[in-house]
Structure formats: structure tokens, C-alpha cells
Amino acid sequence: MVSYDTGVRYLAPTGIEDGLVRDDLPFLSELTPKLQKHALRSGDLLISRIGQPYRIAVADVPEGTTIVPSSNIFVVRVDPEDIDSYYLAAFLQSSRGRLRLGLVRVSPRLREAGQALNWVPSQL
């Protein structure tokens, strides 16, 4: 981590508060090809892997900025033609959604975590 603006920010679970990604994320010194591969896109659904209740948000990445998530955050790349990211985040933050997340105990394997979201009710 560095104290000057590199355009590359690091998102830990504590960077998600009240359904939003904080604006004051720390900066990383550089963006390696490995980190670039994991960079967030606007609309990605973010779910913390640790802690109860789960921290949930939708990524909104400003132009010219790269945000790299911690390995303690699941990133679900949502197809906007299938379901709206904000709808999904709102459902997962509801009492019913949190109950389902608690029952499923989100898997450390992203593929299984994505399968766990198949039970989300259709939007109206």
C-alpha cells in the first residue's frame, strides 16, 4: 500500500459499508497483470466471504480507476440481461436473502457460490 494516488485501489471486506464501496480505499503501488485479471467492473456484485452478516455491495468503478478486491470477497459478474445487480444486492441484504446466504454458507469456490444464487426470486 502507498499513500499517493496510483489509480489502483485495494478493496478489503472492511471497504464495504452499508451496501456501498467506500471512497477512501487504500492505493496499491502498481497494477500487475495478475491483479489486472481480477479488477472489478461496474455492476459486479460483491459478497464478503467472512463475517456475519455478510457485507454486500455493487461495484461502481470510476473511469480511470482500477479496484482490485481482496481474496476475501466473492465477485459475481452479473449479466444485466438476466438480473439487475442492484436488485440482487437488495435481495441478499433482505432478511430472506441473508437467511438463504446463511443456510448456503457460501463456498470458497466461486462456481459453487454462483450456483448458490440460483434460488433468487425473479424480479417483477
Strands (E), 7-97: 8-11, 16-17, 20-21, 45-48, 56-58, 66-69, 73-76
- Residue 110: pLDDT band (50, 70, 90) is very low
**Over the stretch 54-73, which tens digit does the pLDDT of each residue have?**
899 999 999 999 999 999 99
Lowest mean pLDDT among 15-24, 28-37, 110-119: 110-119
The reported pLDDT for the residue numbered 13 is 95
